[in-house]
Structure 1
């Protein structure tokens, strides 16, 4: 059985690696695959890399038929910065890409489609939420809680399309809302948590103070993080789940981390770390207006997918920090 993974980024590559490690074939699709960077994560004869565009339905359908694909993990997307620069392209990739994957799954009667979503779909409601754990099926005011970015709007759309294809056409879909993903690699694309890590680790590895002047990498209150490797494990768990009835699940640590928690995790590696804050955060993580006070409820993922996070914040920092140092030394 072959699983198609769209998007050969950090999460897609780790997903392919996990599948290959248990003896399964994976097809890693990307429009412009960074082959050298991919090889640093997964280098297995069971993983084939193909160049293709998820916005091309005919090419996607032909690929599924030619390689005997039975399942899809869809991670291909443009992130917020790229979408702000080219919103039309971002909407095309993030919405029509999902529509093409779902329609191809319907056409070929695939066994399962797993879609990468984001907890940013929930961020606008944080100012009104007063519970202890944030549920997937949260209360939403359609206007005042509208998405805070085009990226988040595309993820909301993707989740609803997936549920509709499940309800109307019987396509087995699972959407995973990743928390803020901690990762680092030599390929393109940098998450905000990756920027936080680099801003602390890079200077510390050189014995220099970490000067924080970017308001996006410091925050008030807490934020929920997740290791890219845990995202991959969640993807595979979602492929395997026998009855994912809820359809949408949060993939996070289940507890909040402050900027100071991030500092402490880095200081375990670099005890002499010194941080100079030259910006004062006014809101939550990555510039969002609302400060977060409740972590996500991840019990549904444990109950229906059999997944719980394997890596703590400190373990994630320890794993990805050397990659940040390498990228600093060889830009």
Structure 2
């Protein structure tokens, strides 16, 4: 049998690498796979790469039946920056693509479905939360705490659809809320932290001042980040977990980092880095209005999935530098 991984991006490829290294047969399914980028992470001779769109249920079904798929890790999605350019494409891929994966899994009786979600689903509640760590099942007001971006809205929808398929159709679904993902590779990237690190690194390499003129790249307070390699480990842990009863888990560091922490991490490798803010931070990370003061509670992932983060910010930044063109 085989494991289908939708999205041959950074996290999908790291997940494929871990699975192929332990002898699993993997099918990477992507709308625009980039062979060189994939091969930089996973030995593509050990993973089948199929070009396809997750919004095409018929093609997904043909591939799954031909390959003997019985489990899936669904990472295919448009991220925040891409959705700002094309909202309708983001909704189509992130919502209908997830619905297709769930329906495919129901029809073919997959053993488990792992859905990639995001901690942005609970960002709007930060302003009203006073506890020591933000839980997965947080107190939520339907209107005041509605998603603050189309991307977050698609992830809320994906989580609820996953839980509904679990409740109504007994489908074994696990959703993982990744914190802001850090990781470098030769493929395309549209993440906010990736853009910030690239801006700082390019300036440091050129010996010039890094000018931060994008308001999305600077924030007040802190935010939580996670290494893409830790996301991949969480995906594998979610595939393997015996009793993931909670169903939704936060995959983060359990700690907050400020904008200055990123600058300090880059300066550790490039002491001469100079940074000038051409914009004034107004609110939290990536333009969200609420300033974050509380990290995530990641104890459920430790308890039910056997997962814990293994890469600190400094390590993630070094890895980004090593893999950035």
Give CA-to-partner distance per residue, 1:258-303, whole Å, 9 cap, x none: 1111111111111222211221101100111110000000000000
Local SS of the residue matching 2:283? coil
Task: Determine the structure 1 residue equivalent to 2:262.
Answer: 262
SS class of match (1:296): coil
Instruction: Describe how 1:145-224 pairs up with structure 2 within 5 A.
Output: 145-224=145-224
Q: Does residue 36 of the first structure (1) align with residue 46 of the second (2)?
A: no
Q: Which moved more, 1:82-91 or 1:30-39?
A: 82-91
The Cα shift of 1:203 comes to 0.8
SS of equivalent residue, structure 1 residue 133: coil
User: What is aligned with 1:226?
Assistant: 226
**SS of corresponding position for 1:123:** helix
Q: Distance in 2 between matches of 1:47 and 1:122?
A: 35
| 2:117 is the alignment partner of 1:117 | yes
Q: Which residue number corresponds to residue 93 of structure 2?
A: 93
Q: Report the TM-score, using the length of structure 2 for normalisation.
A: 0.98
**2:274 match:** 274
Q: Name the residue aligned to 1:19.
A: 19
Query: Displacement, 1:105?
Result: 0.6
Tell me which residue corresponds to 1:139.
Answer: 139
Cα offset for 1:41? Answer: 1.2
1:26-65 superposed matches below 5 A: 26-65=26-65
- How many matched pairs? 325
Which residue number corresponds to residue 313 of structure 1? 313
Query: How far apart, CA to CA, are the structure 1 residues paired with 2:65 and 2:5?
Result: 15
Does residue 296 of structure 2 align to residue 296 of structure 1? yes
Counterparts of 1:258 and 1:92 in 2: how far apart (Å)? 33
| CA root-mean-square deviation | 1.0
The residue that corresponds to 1:329 in the other structure is: none
Cα deviations across residues 231-253 of structure 1 (Å, max 9, x unaligned)?
10100000000000000000000
With the length of structure 1 as denominator, give the TM-score of the two structures: 0.96
Which residue is 1:76 aligned to?
76
- How many Å apart are 1:319 and its aligned residue? 0.6
CA distance in 2, matches of 1:7, 1:217: 25
Partner SS state of residue 242, structure 1 = coil
Q: Distance in 1 between matches of 2:323 and 2:199?
A: 13
Deviates more, 1:32-41 or 1:227-236: 32-41
SS of alignment partner, residue 269 of structure 2: coil
Q: Distance in 2 between matches of 1:83 and 1:260?
A: 27
Q: Which runs of 4+ in 1 moved over 4 A?
A: none
Deviation at 1:40, TM superposition (A): 1.1
**How far apart in 2 are the matches of 1:260 and 1:305?**
32
Q: Which runs of 5+ in 2 are unaligned?
A: none
- SS of the equivalent of 2:41 reads coil
Q: Work out whether residues 81 and 191 of structure 2, in 8 Å CA contact, stay in contact via their aligned partners in 1.
A: no
1:37-87 Cα offsets, whole Å, 9 max, x none, are: 111111242211001111111111111110011100000111122223322
The change in CA–CA distance for 1:197 and 1:52 in structure 2 (over 3 A counts) is same
Secondary structure, aligned partner of 1:249: strand
